[in-house]
A and B are shown apart, each in its own frame.
Chain A
Amino acid sequence: MRLELREVSRSFPGVTALDRLSLTVEAGRIGCLLGPSGSGKSTALRCIAGFERPESGEVLAGGELLSGAGGWVSPERRRIGMVFQDFALFPHLDARANVAFGLRGHDRAARQRRAQELLGLVGLGAEGGRYPHELSGGQQQRVALARALAPRPRLVLLDEPFSNLDADVRTELAQAVRAALLAEGATALLVTHDQREAFAIADEIGVLRAGRLEQWDAPWKLYHSPKTRFVADFVGEGTFIPGTVLGPGRVSTELGVIEGQLTRDQSPGTLVDLLLRPDDVIHDDASELHAEVVERAFRGAQFRYTLRLPSGATALSFVPSHHDHAIGERIGIRLDAQHLVGFPRGWDADKE
């Protein structure tokens, strides 16, 4: 069911955790709030679940007002499922009883069927009789998801669902979680500080900074068209190089004239900072442009080279790992950029 937040604010002594946060997740979509720790994303989730009461603003699910000036629905009546960071499985119940915990109705067989169905959905059909301490972290995580989905909630919230898991199971599990959410037709909102998790699961991602939403967009747009420097910095890697606006969408830089998009109309002659992603900078021995390798990080399939451009500005480049260059070497590069993003020099969203 559609989730809508309208200007939700919540503060704690000394901190504004949420500052007029508005967002919408359409029914059946998976949204994500991405932000560093302390950005207010967990508070947002707790306000939606009803564990925290916002000071102002409204929370609606499927058009029903859950929290706002006109009313308050307590968490147990919201029908919002939640997957907790530490899973919060009930230690006195086995996996099946955990999943069946929130199921209502007198028909015990029906409850058991539904619990088994969900366990099957998350790939734990044979593990129903095990207790939480007998399950691995990833299995506990999937039980927690099954438990949240079982009562067919209007909305599922996932609070840093993978942060307690080993890195190698995260990606695999993230895809399993997305599949399970889609299979149940659930609307979901995830919060995380890890962009890879966000990209793996979400249809739409909002970047949160100090309680304010910087941008709400599809993952691809977030990466390629960040609206603020913070989003550009936080999502993906990259550096800025100086440039001068020549005309609409045309910027001159030391790497040549680039067709790009600008965050606001800029008159010719304005100085801008252009965002360069590592995949925008291609290693090409035939190129006339050269840059010096100042740092290299081996990543298996590729190197990430940190390059010093002739002007002294820094750029990053992903290069297939058979191109093994030493620090101090000068290598040829060219730009392959379709989505260059520029911010006016010295401009910061904070100072608006």
Chain B
Amino acid sequence: MPRAGPTVVAVAVALPMLAVLAAIAHGAGGADPALWAHLTEHVLARVVANTAILVVAVLALAVALGTALAWLTAACDFPGRGFFSWALYLPMAMPAYVLAFVAVATLDYAGAVPTALRAWFGADLSVPPIRSTAGVIAVLGFASYPYVYLMARGAFLTHGARVLEAAQSLGYGPWAGLIRVAIPLARPWLAGGAALVAMETLADFGAVSVFNYDTFTTAIYKAWYGLFSVETALALALLLLGFVAIALAAEQVARGRGRHTAADAGRGAPVRLALTGARGWMAFAFAGAVFAFGFLLPVVALVRWALAVAPIDLDARYVSYILRTLSLAGMASIACLALALVLGYANRLSSGLLPSVAARIATLGYAVPGTVLAVGVVTVLGGVDGAVRSLAGGEGLWLQGTVLALLLGYVARFLAVAYGPVQGGFARIRPALEDAARSLGLVPREILTRLHLPLLGAGVGTALLLVFVDVMKEMPITLMTRPFGWDTLAVRVFEMTAEGEWQRAALPALAIVAAGLLPVALLTWRMERAARTA
């Protein structure tokens, strides 16, 4: 049966994203030539080089850490393996900008660690400066390795033991098996994890701000707030989108052309390679160091600072930060979920090309950095405001600087986060169930409420939680499009770190980390349960 409805709805959901991308492409050409010349001469080369170096180095570090740790916890046995299996997911709850300011605060010249070292070893001791390219790379690498760890561990667990046994039967030892079989097999997953790392690194604004390390995102922000040149910001945004496109294309290449399926999951307990004696303790030290630097020590530092400033700092303003944060995250997650459901259901009802293309466009936001989306959203809404003014007269900003603008930015960025679990849930509902419901007399609307929603249950909850936490952590969109006075916890972190008030940034940062632990705990629990039942 031809149905126009689903197609129309799906395209409507994709329209805002299309408008934002179109506005960026269109507006980028209008940059002030003098300003642009200044930028290309003094700024652009450094920004491009910085961004490229950062992405490549962070990728290398995150892939190395993530793959090694995944292999150790999935295929080897060493002291503490059970604990590290799940504990190594925890750094996912730590936004890069939090890790960044904790690192700078403790490891900078005047920070606690170098001061203590000088006290022990003498004032002449030179400690490598944390505010360096290596410092940013280390922070972003530690903040983003869990994406690779998650994907690689899933792959290693799924066809770990069976494939390794096959490799062993062909005469390869466990380490040769890792290099020759397990890593090549895990390649699509590794590529997926690496792509996430690249996206996060390209999109990072908070961490590089703390380090004063100029990348595209900070350049866009400065063009916006320092030079007040929307067009320059748009031009930079377009260039950054070019980098994103390259990263996405690289992922496709890196996935390889082989078709991998996880259908042949091994039965029973996986056979693990026991690391005994010194090798076991080396594995323990490695996993322990990553966990300590990526999560445990930063949390300890945050708690200490938060306790120190709480008596003075914790006042009525915090209630407002928290309420603003919760209400924005709540509204955005419900909006994302609703649109994800609409998009998922439209694609379910119609097998046509247009709805699926619309879904792809609507969920592009995960790859588009927040700074880029922010300038795009503001440009689009500015255009709408202009049209409204010329029609209705007056001078008002109808949409710009409203909560609507902020929500639009969040939805554009995080719709993909909600769409993933919703679509996964839809995919698990067999079409025969819909046929059964229809043969029992249910119209499509009733099928959605009586069949799909109850069956989607877990997926809906996951989608809500993931968007909620992502919005809580989100920094650049909030910073650049929020209505006056709408300061969230993340904005507070930015403002305090911008002034070097590390201790006062700890309180909101701790709240964000605590909230971020929820989805990580859920995810970890599911992964481990799946691994046990596999």
Q: Which residues of A contact B (CB under 8 A)?
A: 49-51, 53, 74-82, 84-86, 88, 90-92, 101-102, 104, 147-148, 151, 157
Contact = CB atoms under 8 A, between A and B. Distances in A.
Nearest to B457: A92
B1 A84 contact: no
Nearest to B444: A76
Given A75-B439, A148-B439, 7 more contacts: A76-B438, A77-B441, A84-B432, A90-B433, A90-B455, A92-B455, A102-B441
Nearest to A81: B439
A145 to B, nearest CB: 12
B297 interface: no
B388 interface: no
Nearest to A93: B454
B440 interface: yes
Contacts of A102: 439-442
24 contacts: A51-B438, A53-B1, A74-B438, A75-B439, A76-B438, A76-B440, A76-B442, A77-B441, A78-B439, A79-B441, A81-B439, A82-B439, A84-B432, A86-B430, A86-B432, A88-B433, A88-B435, A88-B436, A90-B433, A90-B437, A92-B457, A102-B441, A148-B440, A151-B441
A101 B440 contact: yes
Nearest to A77: B441
- Of B1, B436, B454, most buried by chain A (CB within 10 Å of CB) is B436
Q: How large is the interface on B (under 10, 10 to 19, 20 to 34, 35 or more residues)?
A: 10 to 19
Contacts of B433: 88, 90
B443 interface: yes
A189 B320 CA distance: 66
A30 to B, nearest CB: 18
- Of B430, B433, B437, B439, most buried by chain A (CB within 10 Å of CB) is B439
A320 to B, nearest CB: 45
Contact of A51 (B435, B450, B454): B435
B451 interface: yes
In the A-B complex, the 5 residue pairs with the smallest Cβ-Cβ separation, listed nearest first, are: A102-B440, A88-B432, A82-B439, A88-B436, A75-B438
Nearest to A101: B440
Given A53-B1, A92-B455, A101 B439 contact: no
Interface string B427-469: 0001011011111111100000011001101000000000000
- Of B1, B442, B443, most buried by chain A (CB within 10 Å of CB) is B1
Given A86-B432, A88-B433, A49 B439 contact: yes
Contacts of A88: 430, 432-433, 435-436
A81 B432 contact: no
Contacts of A53: 1
Interface string B416-434: 0000000000000010110
Interface in B283-314: none
Contacts of B450: 101
Contacts of A90: 433, 436-437, 451, 455
Contacts of B437: 90, 101
Given A53-B1, A90-B433, A80 B439 contact: yes
B436 A151 contact: no
Contacts of A84: 432, 435-436
B435 A75 contact: yes
Interface in B509-532: none
Nearest to B429: A91
B121 to A, nearest CB: 65
Contacts of B1: 53, 74
